[in-house]
Structure 1
Amino acid sequence: MENRVEIIEDRKEFVCYNIKNKDMKLRCEENSASGAVSQRACVYCGARVVLNPITDAFHLIHGPIGCAAYTWDLRGSLTSGSELFRNSFSTDLSEMDVVFGGEKKLVGAIDEIVKEFHPKVIFVYATCIVGVIGDDVDSVCKMAEKKHSMRVIPVKSPGFSGNKSMGYRAACDAIMKLIGEKKKVEKIHGINYLGDFNLAGEVWVVTGYLKKIGIDVVANITGDGRYDDIIKAPQAKLNIVQCAGSMGYMAKQMEESYGIPFIKTSFVGIEDSENSLIQIAGLMGNEETVKKAEELIKFEKQKIKNDMNYYRSRLYGKKAAIYVGGGYKAISLIRQFRDLGIETVMVGTQTGKPEDYEVLKQITKEGTVILDDANPSELEKFMVEKGADILVGGVKERPLAYKLGVAFCDHNHERKHILAGFEGAVNFAKEIDLTINSPVWNYI
């Protein structure tokens, strides 16, 4: 089938083929090209992605009801405590509020929340409408803190003010404001786990590994996170960052403000899970801790050995296309596919950084398509051109894959099953096998 799709002129520098002996200058970290139908979400959504898993926080969206509906219980983040975070609450701004302002409505909403729910912290999200009409959300939150003697944190997230990465940064600023100014505290032998949002309970898998090798977690930021733990975060000796795209900015802030060093880790796939555990054990423990980590890895790999060999035999030689949010996940997925005998022929991210794309170039083969902030037209073009057997992405990419007769795996925030750690590696391989080798493709 001839592929006649053309790349928009303004997008050409955001797409390239991997050429090993040539410097790759891929444009990234910019706002989406107008008219390109970007797959990115808005600033508000980025902020909500990071903050929503704080389980005992109250999330109040100051804006029209549609913004609240957009993120209502769409994510697979699980909780071991409060269920309050699962709901979205809105000031439900209407046309009259746009004309006369919504500050009084916001004040009334906060008063009602305190009376009915008594949360420890309220996050107030400023949406596009609020950015346009100019409600002073900062002042309302300050007055509410004094009035109710509790934390009320503004999240400056009008959707038009940038891209999804700006929303991540707005959320990190809100968390730093929650924790407070520079603190000199007595350190305890523990870590903070940043950038894992406990999809399907993955935080519990990773913290379970760490507990087995003798390393405690001070705060999960933000998967299954709690107010009381998060404000103790400055006591940790090390920050480990799972999703650097969303929480790398905060890790740097915490290093500057609280003197906590950080490392980037990944528990996506066997190879990265193994490397991360050894690295953490080496930094936080002694020879005994490293030995425990090695024994744990050996045990977990042996436990899944037969299953993984079975799926490798069924998947060897297939071709994969990847389009995910951050660079860290794309890098891990390429390694995970390689372990299964699958070649990655196309890889892209929504919020990747120059250093991410440099790594992607190094670990993919010559001719692999690499793209930043792709749109459906580009994804279609290169999936067809490269003969991809499967697309790994988020919920927005699913219909595209199926329309092209290509298998699909959801690796985004809507999923309900674990894909992290050694257990997750088996689940991932099983899902890839089920979709690639489904009998339905025989009828297309």
Structure 2
Amino acid sequence: MAKNIYKSTVPIREDRLNTTIAYGGTASELVDLTTRKCLKAKDRAFSQTTFCQEWLAMLTLATIKDTVTIVHAPVGCISSLTCINIFNRFGQILRGEIPETGKWISTNLTDADAIHGGEDKLKEAILEADKRYSPKAIFVFSSCVAGVIGEDIDAIISKVQPDVSAKVAPVYCDGFKSKVWATGYDGSFQGALNHLISEPKEKQDDLVNIINPITFGRVDEVEVERLLNKIGLKANFIPNFNTVEAIGKASEAALTSSLCTTFSEYFGKELKERFDVPYTKKLMPVGLDNTDEWLREIAGFLGKEDEVEILIKEERERIQPKIDELKKKLEGKTAFVSAGQSRAVGIPNLLADLGIEIVGITAYHYDEVIFESFADLENRCGDFCTNIANVQPFEQTNILNKEKPDLYFGHMGESVWAAKEGIPTGMVFNLGHLFSGYNGPVSFGSRILNLVNNHSFSKKLSRHSKKVYRDSWLDENPFKYHKAEGL
């Protein structure tokens, strides 16, 4: 039986997972400090840029079909949905669908609303969304302004819910409450858990929920689906690019797993607590060893141990000659990786499969979710420079200037800092390219080989670009502005 648990808000990750966003040193030091529980929370005396947790919350739910997004905020807060809509339309194309523009509404809170409240505007927006689009669900996202003035979004929705046919789900993601933007994932899943998922009609012994962040493309899903099918399991990819009904059936699954533990760990825990659906805790199936362990954990829960060992043996034998060929061609290359914490472990493992040496990693945050896997990575790859930073280009550029890697792999937008230094760059995700499973290292390795053989863009860019930062900063300790909490 499902437990009747309703939680409006979620604890921030700083409190729930002891998450830190400021560390600079070596991997071995970080592992040692974490093991001894001596890792002190730090901040920065100077911070250059970051994301907003509202953006991450919208990124989680805005691609669900037959839904409308309402952002209870000043109109500027909705601007990021234009970027999310690019992901949305491209994701639909990759799934063989005719692309449709997402549907979103801003309540356009003004300075007057910040004084008198925006309840009437939110009611009007919900009614209009239901009338205009007839969606199956409406997501109402909070904002810094809504949080500051103390808008009771739950109460407002309770008043208007009887007048609309869609399920209306509040998502609390006030940006100022947490410096760890991944808290936005938790708030979005809380809304889905409270309003979209109900007690299962029947359990499906072969169904596995695969929580898919928007940054994993359809080609990755196809690879994961292929592997699960080989051991007699079906994948329910949620929430991105799927339906409200598919999300509602999450409680019927035999197990929940994920393509990114950072993204999904809160959802997995809550689904276990409320509906007794077990969940796996291994990191994403990126890299050969990670894929082995990811499959083994799923098999261990569902009694598929013999089948999965046969699958792993077959896939390893099939893929190894191609891996060996790539390793010969990439021998001696070094790389720096910058990514969210799960990819900051997954991508280096994939690179290590290809014989590329890891000289440094930047993870956007760090907590107990990846500690074990990070320690395994340090054991496998040896010591390397480690920076925990919620997107701080001034630190990143300083480190790259000192480490001088042959290759740089990062998220879209931030790779420009490395390219301007003349370092060939690649993406740690691309919706049209494969990274996951056993075919992922071959696909990614082939693209890396192309990058190595044709790096003229970054070299020419560096010759025609002015230095982003002065030599006086590049000669400094990159972690100069880290400070202990409260100082």
Q: Under a length normalisation based on structure 1, what TM-score does the superposition of the two structures give?
A: 0.85
* Structure 2 counterpart of 1:335, from 336, 349, 356: 349
Paired position in structure 1 for 2:251 = 234
Paired position in structure 2 for 1:67 = 77
Other structure's SS at 1:106 match: helix
* Structure 1 counterpart of 2:120, from 96, 99, 104: 104
Other structure's SS at 2:68 match: strand
Kept in 1, the 8 Å contact 2:197–2:250? The answer is no
Counterparts of 2:101 and 2:292, CA distance in 1: 32
Paired position in structure 2 for 1:53 = 63
Q: 1:285 to 1:435 in 2, by over 3 A?
A: same
Counterparts of 1:174 and 1:137, CA distance in 2: 12
Q: 1:157 to 1:215 in 2, by over 3 A?
A: same
Alignment of 1:102-251 (within 5 A): 102-162=118-178, 163-180=180-197, 183=199, 186-189=202-205, 190-197=207-214, 199-201=216-218, 202-217=220-235, 219-251=236-268
Other structure's SS at 1:252 match: helix
Counterparts of 2:413 and 2:38, CA distance in 1: 23
Kept in 2, the 8 Å contact 1:125–1:154? The answer is yes
Paired position in structure 2 for 1:262 = 279
Deviations 1:306-347 (A, max 9, x none): 3x4443233211111111112x22222121111111111111
1:18 aligns with 2:27: yes
Please list every run of 5 or more consecutive structure 1 residues that lacks an aligned counterpart in the other structure: 1-10
Deviations 1:326-375 (A, max 9, x none): 2x222221211111111111112113214624542442355411121252
Which 10-residue stretch deviates more, 383-392 or 279-288?
279-288
Other structure's SS at 1:320 match: strand
Paired position in structure 1 for 2:331 = 316
- Could you tell me how far 1:287 is from its partner in structure 2? 6.0
Counterparts of 1:124 and 1:21, CA distance in 2: 39
Kept in 2, the 8 Å contact 1:72–1:88? The answer is no
Which 10-residue stretch deviates more, 240-249 or 365-374?
365-374
Cα root mean square deviation, aligned: 3.1
Kept in 2, the 8 Å contact 1:15–1:372? The answer is yes
Other structure's SS at 1:264 match: coil
Other structure's SS at 2:64 match: coil
Counterparts of 2:340 and 2:396, CA distance in 1: 14
- Could you tell me how far 1:392 is from its partner in structure 2? 1.5
Paired position in structure 2 for 1:387 = 404
Structure 2 counterpart of 1:271, one-letter code: D
Counterparts of 1:226 and 1:30, CA distance in 2: 40
Kept in 2, the 8 Å contact 1:72–1:87? The answer is no
Alignment of 1:366-385 (within 5 A): 366-373=382-389, 375-385=392-402
Kept in 1, the 8 Å contact 2:172–2:187? The answer is yes
Paired position in structure 1 for 2:439 = 423
Structure 2 counterpart of 1:45, one-letter code: W
Counterparts of 2:140 and 2:131, CA distance in 1: 17
Please list every run of 5 or more consecutive structure 2 residues that lacks an aligned counterpart in the other structure: 1-19, 464-487
Q: 1:299 to 1:106 in 2, by over 3 A?
A: farther
Paired position in structure 2 for 1:252 = 269
Counterparts of 1:12 and 1:228, CA distance in 2: 36
- Could you tell me how far 1:153 is from its partner in structure 2? 0.6
Other structure's SS at 2:82 match: coil
Counterparts of 1:278 and 1:16, CA distance in 2: 33
Q: 1:20 to 1:100 in 2, by over 3 A?
A: closer
Alignment of 1:75-86 (within 5 A): 76=87, 78-79=91-92, 80=95, 86=102
Other structure's SS at 1:72 match: helix
Q: 1:286 to 1:337 in 2, by over 3 A?
A: closer
Counterparts of 2:376 and 2:441, CA distance in 1: 23
Q: Under a length normalisation based on structure 2, what TM-score does the superposition of the two structures give?
A: 0.78
Counterparts of 2:175 and 2:326, CA distance in 1: 42
Other structure's SS at 1:263 match: coil
Q: 1:52 to 1:28 in 2, by over 3 A?
A: farther
